[in-house]
Amino acid sequence: MPPQRRRRTGHHEGEDDNTRHRRQSKRAPESDDGSGASENEDEQDIDMDRPAGADNTSDDQLVKKLVRYALACEYARIPIKRDGIRDKVLGTQARSFRRVFDAAQEQLQKVFGMEMAELPVREKRTLKDKQKAVKRGTSQASASSRQYILISCLPKEYRTQPVIGPSRIPSTADEAAYVAFYTIVISLITLSSGELSDMKLRRYLTRLNASQNLPMDKTDNVLQKLIRQGYLDKIVERVEGDEDAITWCVGPRGRVEVSPQSIAQVVSEVWGDPPDDFDKKLEKSLGIRRTGQASNTNRDMEGQEDDE
């Protein structure tokens, strides 16, 4: 006699009820007044209505990441690239670039006394580069480098040695010597109409005893480091049947970090006892106007107005 099969209709229905009950409990948490499901639905609607990146907590984290990224780039003296901000900071929230950038800028100014300044576009100096720019129809005046560096935004009275002294890494002496060296080189190039031949630069470095006074490395290695970090540009033009023409220019970082006003202060300090027309010649060479002279001019104009 074959075995009888058990009928599972009742048990199956019971299992369906239990399964249905468990599914319902997962969908809506139990509450005394039965309003759990509607509250969750309202919260989902609020999240859906918010624009992307509107979460304040998320923005705060992105701002902190951007500040850390900017400080790390400046520590290594490499530019803060806009593409790097999108890839390493924003990720999938690239549309919130401007909001996060402005908030990080404010944080850098208030906490660290620094701000991100955009680097100028590298100038087209050789004839070949200028011809390429003309073919592309690009203008250096309207172009954007999409790169930034950190500069001090402290008031003038706080830009002193005890407040913003040289870094202690690798050492205070090496850092001070490095800053002094590239400041002198940039000053020489700027006062030579923005360009300096390799022969003249080597002559100046010999007078400065750079090979003995640079403690960190050889002179050529330091110059290559300045090129990598954007302080200097080395323009090499190939000449058929003759030696290559090498010209040294100020790089994008050097133009921003070492301003004409800084060059004027360095030259005045090195000169010692300048002649009477020294300030006028220096201002004309650098294309600047001293604050003291401007204030005297304003006082003269005010006196003329009073006389009238």
Choose between 27 and 112: higher pLDDT: 112
Residue 300 has pLDDT above 50, yes or no: no
Residue 13 has pLDDT above 70, yes or no: no
Residue 288 has pLDDT above 50, yes or no: yes
* Cα–Cα–Cα angle for 13, 19, 20, rounded to 5 degrees: 90
Choose between 160 and 117: higher pLDDT: 117
Residue 142 has pLDDT above 60, yes or no: no
- The confidence band for 270, taking pLDDT boundaries of 50, 70 and 90, is confident
Task: Tell me the average pLDDT across 86-110.
Answer: 93
pLDDT score recorded for residue 171: 85
Bridge partners of 118, per DSSP, are 148
Dist. CA 307–CA 192, nearest whole Å: 44
Give the Å distances, CA to CA, from 230 to 81, 184, 253, 272: 13, 15, 5, 30
Q: pLDDT tens-digit profile of 232-265?
A: 999 988 877 777 889 999 999 999 999 998 999 8
Q: Answer whether CATH 1.10.3720.10 is correct for domain 57-122+148-154.
A: no
Helix, coil or strand: residue 151: strand
Residue 208 has pLDDT above 60, yes or no: yes
Q: pLDDT tens-digit profile of 32-47?
A: 444 444 334 333 332 3
- The confidence band for 166, taking pLDDT boundaries of 50, 70 and 90, is confident
b (16+ CB within 10 A) / e for 144-155? eeebbbbeeeee
CB 161 within 8 A of CB 131: no
- The confidence band for 214, taking pLDDT boundaries of 50, 70 and 90, is confident
% of the chain exceeding 90 in pLDDT: 42
- Strand order of the β-sheet with 196-197 is 196-197, 245-250, 232-237
Residue 153 has pLDDT above 80, yes or no: yes
pLDDT score recorded for residue 281: 87
Choose between 209 and 49: higher pLDDT: 209
Residue 73 has pLDDT above 60, yes or no: yes
pLDDT score recorded for residue 35: 41
% of the chain exceeding 70 in pLDDT: 69
Q: Which of 123-127, 148-152, 205-209, 249-253 has the lowest mean pLDDT?
A: 123-127
Bridge partners of 149, per DSSP, are 117
Element (H, E) at 213: helix 210-213
pLDDT score recorded for residue 128: 67
Record the tokens describing residue 34, joined without a space. 């039965």
Task: Tell me the average pLDDT across 164-173.
Answer: 84
